[in-house]
Amino acid sequence: MILLTGSSGFLGKTLKSYFNQLGLEVKTLGRRIEDDYVVDLSKDQPISVKFPFDCVVHCAGKAHSVPKTALERKAFFDVNVLGTQNLLLGIEKSGWLPKSFVLISTVAVYGQETGQLINEESPLLASDAYGSSKIQAEELVKDWCKKHHIICTILRLPLIAGPNPPGNLQAMIRGIKKGYYFNIAGGNAKKSMVLAQDVAEVIPRAALIGGTYNLTDGIHPKFSELSELIAHQLDKSKPSNIPLWLAKLMALAGNILGDKSPINNSKLKKITSDLTFNDTHARKNLAWAPKSVIKEFSIA
């Protein structure tokens, strides 16, 4: 039996569907009235959960936004850190302990904007609200699992692809659909991605083994490849390209306008730089054999 948090989110829906396909009994915990256990983990502990779950998959979390105020930054701490802590304490007080605990984390914990094939041994340098809150959540889970002799699995995910995705991928889809998306300098920068379905399929195996893993498709698509795939599925023309020299001029103007500008020097560096992660550890220990995002991704 599995206790799943965050089942209403993009990845959580995929996890629940796959677990059900396997014939596993899944109970959900979250803020929706449809959840089996209704609780806001950022505020309360789920002390009513008394079933002997074999595995807890903690998928709930706050992402896909850039905080602009102290209150917005605190929201990341409340959901990702306090929420994790309340879940762990609630389990402890309920009188049952799972055999395994799986935390859905992020490659944002490395705090890198550029780099190639960053592995799990790299330092966790994130200082932004999202990345730093996930570092703290990882530490809480590791310490708690060690204390109670529970198999601990942490999955660090990059951009997740699947039908109707959120975040930056949804922004790209929307931009291509409305005709205002452009590749820059040929769109040759590579970014690690992973299919939501592949993440779901590895969890039952990873939960029995434990460890910390980056999960990617191992191919790391270019912006140009991804945007052309989306344009094809939307029956739109291939996105246009802005040459680097022009993008640099636009970035200079954007520096003056501030964060509201669609491009500035910082954003240009991210767009034109590779950021990829090494998943060799998962391939060796979890028999991780993901599918290509470019070959399998469907936007709807």
Helix, strand or coil for residue 118?
Answer: strand
For the cut 90, the answer to whether the pLDDT of residue 87 exceeds it is yes
Q: How much is the pLDDT for 69?
A: 87
For the cut 90, the answer to whether the pLDDT of residue 8 exceeds it is yes
Phi-psi group of 186: left, alpha or beta (phi > 0 → left; psi -120 to 50 → alpha; rest → beta) = left
Give the burial string for 21-41 (b: 16+ CB within 10 Å, else e): eeeeebebbbeeeebeeebeb
- Percent of the chain's residues with pLDDT above 90: 84
How many helices (H) and strands (E) the chain has is answered by 11, 13
Where is average pLDDT lowest: 97-101, 137-141, 252-256?
252-256
State pLDDT tens for residues 21-45: 999 999 999 999 999 999 999 999 9
| N- to C-terminal Cα separation, the chain | 30
State how far the Cα of 67 lies from the Cα of 74, in Å rounded to an integer. 9
Q: How many residues in the chain?
A: 300
State pLDDT tens for residues 206-262: 999 999 999 999 999 999 999 999 999 999 999 999 999 999 998 898 888 776 677
Helix, strand or coil for residue 39?
Answer: coil
Q: How much is the pLDDT for 264?
A: 85
State how far the Cα of 35 lies from the Cα of 27, in Å rounded to an integer. 8
Classified by CATH at the fold level, domain 2-162+193-218+277-296 comes out as Rossmann fold (3.40.50)
DSSP letter at 190 equals B
Q: How much is the pLDDT for 279?
A: 98
For the chain, give every domain's residue range: 2-162+193-218+277-296
Token readout for 13 is 């829906």
Question: Which residue do the tokens 């209150």 mark?
Answer: 71
Report CA dihedral (193, 79, 213, 159) to the nearest 10 degrees: 0
Ramachandran angles phi, psi of 29, nearest 5°: -130, 125
